[in-house]
Amino acid sequence: MTPLPRLFLQLLQPLVLLLAGGCIGAANAVAAEPAGAAVQAAAPNGDWMSYRDAYRTMIRFEKYGKPKQLIQSHFRVVPKEEGVSLDGVRLTLTGPSGSLNLLLDAAGRAVFPFLKSAFDENARLQLNRIGDRYTMQQAVSIIPRADGIYDVADLQSACEQTLAYLRDIGKPGMQGRKCIGVRFAYPRQADDPQVSLRGGEHKDGLLQIEEAPAFTGDAAPLFKTVTYRFNQRPEKSQAQIHTQQRPVAITAVFD
């Protein structure tokens, strides 16, 4: 087996620990587009893309100087068509001196490894699928809370941070958009999620469950989703969203 370069070895252990701990995105902001929106970076032939191209896309979030404490950035593999599954899809960073498997979560997201060696070697981000059925892109989402409790005011701020970032990098169609809500996505095979609105003067209760993609504009995969629209509760300062299960992703919703 070809030995990994020193920089690969130095970063492999913390990356594996981060993934094994289920902390994709919550640690170090290098970790969901919705949490609102995806920024596409073209993948030649649909099955690989240049690490350098991906790096130039992903580093923009790291260098972004405006508020982003409520949001996170991932590298993401996305099916192009309805019915195309992520089951069995693997993403590998491959270069002349070694390779590194990047674990994908249920939404197709991976922690992007910032590796000088991969950049210098012009490595590839390679899928184990042939054909133009997937795209690779940056995805910005809202950081989940360990306690499952979200102030509506914070969710609205997170949506605004997502929109501001997408405008800053020039994502098409963002200039005329506005934040209208957030979406919580859960596995389709799991029990129905318990997501409730609490606080304020109005009667609270469970929010409606729908079947939809986690990220607006995706064709697949589908999740059990709960969308909260900010106009559902005028007194946002005291309202909260309570979740019983950890979502796969929390994404911003625009209009």
Q: Give per-residue pLDDT as tens, 45-72.
A: 448 999 999 999 999 999 999 999 999 9
- Give the pLDDT band (50/70/90) at residue 15: very low
List phi, psi (to 5°) of 161.
Answer: -65, -40
For the four alpha carbons of 81, 38, 160 and 241, in that order, the dihedral sign comes to: positive
Rounded Cα distance between 80 and 218, Å, is 8
Confidence at residue 202, expressed as pLDDT on a 0 to 100 scale? 55
Confidence at residue 134, expressed as pLDDT on a 0 to 100 scale? 94
- Give the pLDDT band (50/70/90) at residue 237: low
| E strand segments, 116-203 | 124-127, 134-142, 149-151, 179-186, 195-198
Q: What is the largest CA-CA distance in the chain?
A: 64
Cα 29 to its chain centre, rounded Å, is 11
Rounded Cα distance between 198 and 129, Å, is 45
| Residue 3 in this model has a pLDDT that exceeds 80 | no
- Give the pLDDT band (50/70/90) at residue 14: very low
The pTM for the full model equals 0.81
| Residue 123 in this model has a pLDDT that exceeds 90 | yes
Query: Which of these ranges, 33-42, 81-90, 146-155, has the smallest mean pLDDT?
Result: 33-42
| Residue 158 in this model has a pLDDT that exceeds 80 | yes
Of 147, 164, 168, 151, the C-alpha closest to 71 is: 164
Confidence at residue 173, expressed as pLDDT on a 0 to 100 scale? 86
